[in-house]
Chain A
Amino acid sequence: MTNYLIRRIIQMFFVVFLAALFTYFLFNISPGGPLAGIQQQQRRITREDLARLRAQYELDFYWPFRFSRWLIGLPNGPIVIAGQERFTNLAVGCYLRRDEQVVEQDGQMVVIPAGCDQFVFLSDIPTLHPEVRSSKGIFRGDFGQSTVIRAGRPVWGEMMTRLPATLELMITSVLLSFLFGIPIGIYSAIKQYSKFDYTFTTVSFIGAAMPTFFFGLMMILAFTVLPNMLQEQFPWLPKLPPGTRVAVRPYAVASWLPRVTPGTPLDRFLHLIMPVAVLTFFNMATWSRFVRSSMLEVMRQDYVRTARAKGLVERTVIIKHALRNALIPFVTIAVLTIPGFFAGAIITETVFAWPGMGRLYFEALTRSDWNIALAFIFITAVLTVIATLLGDILYTVVDPRIKYT
């Protein structure tokens, strides 16, 4: 077990490192980024200004060095070996780039880097990149600064302002899905091929296959748009707020209800209903199917037959003998929800304009705020890897027959 754990943890580091390298590389081969189009916007910008801006975003480093600075905060100056500064003349980047304008075949002018007028040497780093501006590396908990969405502010702070919204959404929906999904799955298994089973198997089938964004739009259509359009004929129809987390102005849910004040628990509850419903429907569908099949598997086992033959009440057989074993595989699925508590739900949050992590990531991608996107991917990857390991360990705890070597 110890050997197994050590091997797994080494593998985890490797996986996370590869994922980080892969995403960092992707962002670096892509054009765009914080300074894209700045020369078109401000025509009087000089080469020196541009170089200073590039240095501020660390774009003057070659990408392997930039990656290493992003990951572990090194190199942050000449490497000191045995009291002596080494490699002071190693060029790690290009401060002043020489650009060349080239006319392409289709007649378009394209600027391509043609050389370097002033390199960044290891010994230049402390002067060009003072400690205050540079990040200490994500392994030391510094995710750098946002470049577009909240330019100049730390990424971590921005994520912390978004996390509560995501936690609120995800925790509520996961709890509700457990609450409904497990009993539905168990009951469908006990009453296999009954009306209840058929209904819920079909419902969960549809729930798992339904695209969440379309379901979200349908919710908005049914509970916001239609009541709005039918307001004249049916003023008593309640309508729900279609997006964001809290309202700005007081609003009426229905004519027969008092107006809702923004920021109150009721207001937040009303905003939560639709996104939570979408996520719950999806999770509940997948989980109840899972519990059903695992329960059916267990009910076929010999020891369940033995328990029945012993003359135990059906209720005891199901709860004490079958259920506990049926929920074993479910542990792994439940653990895998952990990364979601951080990452949120990208599509659902976008549909409902929910100010959570998923939407932050999506904004960061479309607006080229690489540091935020990278931090999101990195933390999600770490949490996924930890959750997978935790699931495997929990498996041995709940089922002692399984042993890892």
Chain B
Amino acid sequence: MTSVAQPVILNDAAKDEKQESQIRVIFRRFRKHKMAVISLILITIIFVSSLLAPVIAPFERDAIDLSSSIRPAPPGTVDSQGRVHYLGIDHLGRDLFTRVLYAARVSMSIAILVVLISETFGAFLGALAGYYGGITDTLISRVIEFMLTIPTLPILLILSAILLRRDVVIPLPGFVNRFLSAMLLAPEREAQKVVMLVFILVLFGWLGAARLMRGMALSLSKQDFVEALRATGASDARIIFRHIIPNGIAPILVNASLALGGVIVAESALSFLGLGVQDPTPTWGNMLSTSQSYMFQNPWLPLVPGVFLVIVSIGFNFIGDGLRDALDPRLKR
């Protein structure tokens, strides 16, 4: 046993040292992509301030300002107690700055949850398909092909029209619900609806990761080191989780950061059409949707959530681009 274990330990140590420097190399390459760095900074600022929403926000999320008779009111309006509405008041008299912060929290939580779940699930299925081949591969690949042929947006719309508007709720254990409602800073009832939306978006979200990982696993499983692992008696599970998935993780990372932008846009598109997250839970999408009715008198109104949405969606794309450049071995310098 010891004779087998020793080379593994040596190998791991060598790998750790190499990984350390590799991460530094990746970081150095990533820094060269100026737009990606700027995007990363901006998104981090938005993300951190959304985490600190209850501390930063000057008002309560749904609090209505009764002192102002003009609704919606422009940025800089001061209420009777002298508090400033930095980004103005919406049509119901709620503070927009506060709502944008909470919306960032909701939109980003949804995006992170969807991407985490779907990339993990997709990578796992893809690795299975690529590693085992045969019937497993045929089955998984056919499902992916089928899902890719059906038009996504119309089906997403059907699902959310049916599931979200009819109060269908996935039964989840209480602590998950409490965690989600704490994460979104919203009552549990609202959090449950968000879970439904996450579920709908995951349904179509895992395809990209699965296809990528399948390709990687297919080529990796034919390489000598996998053969060597099999010869040492490593189990399939160990090979898949310790060797195939870590080796194929780079394209998944790039895909995930692009998907974060995509999911944020998809979620706000659904909410914009009135089929996603509903008022009073704020998201950038439903804020834009209500602003549409008032924009002819208040042209600044759609800009408030819109600017955040654009920064985040374009930002994640730039980060993905930067990561791709940084992780691409063909560009080794």
Spell out A's residues near B (CB within 8 Å): 15, 18-19, 22-23, 26-27, 29-32, 202, 205-206, 208-214, 217-218, 220-221, 224-226, 228-229, 339, 343, 346-347, 350-351, 361-362, 365-366, 373, 376-377, 380-381, 384-385, 388
Known: A32-B166, A211-B269, A373-B158. A228 touches B317 (CB 8 A): no
Interface residues of B in 260-289 (CB under 8 A from A): 261, 265, 268-269, 272-275, 288
Question: Is there contact, CB below 8 Å, between B154 and A346?
Answer: yes
Segment of B91-99, B208-216, B294-302 in the binding face: B294-302
Bound together, the chains give a CA A388 to CA B150 distance in angstroms of: 11
Q: How many A-B residue pairs lie within 8 Å, measured between CB atoms?
A: 112
Q: Which of B153, B162, B292, B314 is in CB contact (< 8 Å) with A210?
A: B314
In angstroms, Cα B265 to Cα A384, docked, is 23
A30-B162 contact in complex given A210-B314, A217-B288, C-beta closer than 8 Å:
yes
- Contact, CB under 8 Å: A346 / B149: no
Q: Which of B273, B291, B321 contacts A205 (CB 8 A)?
A: B321
**Is A217 in contact with B302, judged by CB distance below 8 angstroms?**
yes
Asked whether A211 and B265 contact (CB < 8 A) given A26-B158, A30-B166, the answer is yes
**Which chain A residues border B313 with CB–CB below 8 Å?**
209-211
B43 interfacial contact with A, CB 8 Å? no
B196 to chain A, nearest CB (A): 13
Cα separation A26 to B200 with both chains bound (whole Å): 13
Q: How far is the CB of B176 from chain A (nearest CB, A)?
A: 22
Instruction: Chain A residues near B59: list those with CB within 8 A.
Output: none
Contact B310 A385 (CB under 8 A): no
Query: Nearest CB to that of A368 among chain B residues?
Result: B161
A26 proximity list for chain B (CB < 8 A): 158-159, 162
B35 at the interface (CB under 8 A from A): yes
Task: Tell me, yes or no, whether B175 is within 8 Å of chain A by CB.
Answer: no
Cα–Cα, bound, A214→B313 (Å): 12
B299 touches A208 (CB 8 A): no
A386 CA to B166 CA in the complex, in Å?
Answer: 34
Complex CA distance for A4 and B259, rounded to whole angstroms: 34
A21 to chain B, nearest CB (A): 12
A-B CB contact pairs (8 Å), 23 listed: A15-B146, A19-B149, A19-B150, A29-B162, A30-B166, A32-B166, A205-B314, A205-B318, A209-B261, A213-B288, A214-B309, A217-B288, A217-B302, A217-B306, A221-B299, A225-B296, A346-B154, A361-B157, A365-B158, A366-B274, A373-B158, A376-B154, A388-B149
- B155 at the A interface (CB under 8 A): yes
- A-chain residues with CB within 8 Å of residue B321 when the two chains form the complex: 205
Checking A27, A205, A224, A346 against B153 with a beta-carbon cut-off of 8 angstroms, the contacting residue is A346
Cα separation A366 to B275 with both chains bound (whole Å): 9
CB nearest neighbor in A for B317: A209
- 9 tightest A-B contacts by CB? A30-B162, A209-B317, A209-B314, A211-B265, A365-B161, A214-B306, A217-B302, A225-B299, A19-B150
Residue B7 is within 8 A (CB to CB) of chain A in the complex: no
B81 to chain A, nearest CB (A): 31
Is residue B233 within 8 Å, beta carbon to beta carbon, of the partner chain?
A: no
Q: List chain B residues, Cβ under 8 A from A346.
A: 153-154, 157, 273
A380 touches B154 (CB 8 A): yes
Q: Are the C-beta atoms of A362 and B273 separated by less than 8 Å?
A: yes
Q: Interface residues of B toward A: which range? A: 35 or more
Give the CA-CA distance A42 to B183 in the complex, in Å.
44
Q: Inside 8 A of A23's CB, which chain B residues have their CB? A: 155, 158
Bound-state Cα–Cα, A388 to B303, Å = 39
The residue in chain B whose Cβ has the minimal distance to the Cβ of A214 is B306
Residues of A within 8 A of B310 (CB): 210-211, 214
Contact yes or no, A205 B317, CB < 8 A: yes
Q: How many angstroms from the CA of A388 to the CA of B151 in the assembled complex?
A: 12
A343 to B155, CA, bound (A): 13
B288 touches A366 (CB 8 A): no
A384 and B149 contacting across the interface, CB-CB below 8 Å: yes
A49 to B227, CA, bound (A): 72
A377 touches B151 (CB 8 A): yes
- B-side contacts of A361, CB under 8 Å: 154, 157
A343→B154 contact, CB < 8 A? yes
B299 touches A226 (CB 8 A): yes
- Which residues on the B side are within 8 Å of A224 (C-beta)? 296
Beyond the given A209-B261, A211-B268, A225-B299, please list 11 additional residue pairs across the A-B interface where CB-CB is below 8 A.
Answer: A205-B318, A205-B321, A209-B313, A209-B314, A211-B269, A213-B288, A214-B288, A218-B306, A221-B302, A339-B151, A380-B154
Residues of A within 8 A of B157 (CB): 346, 361-362, 365
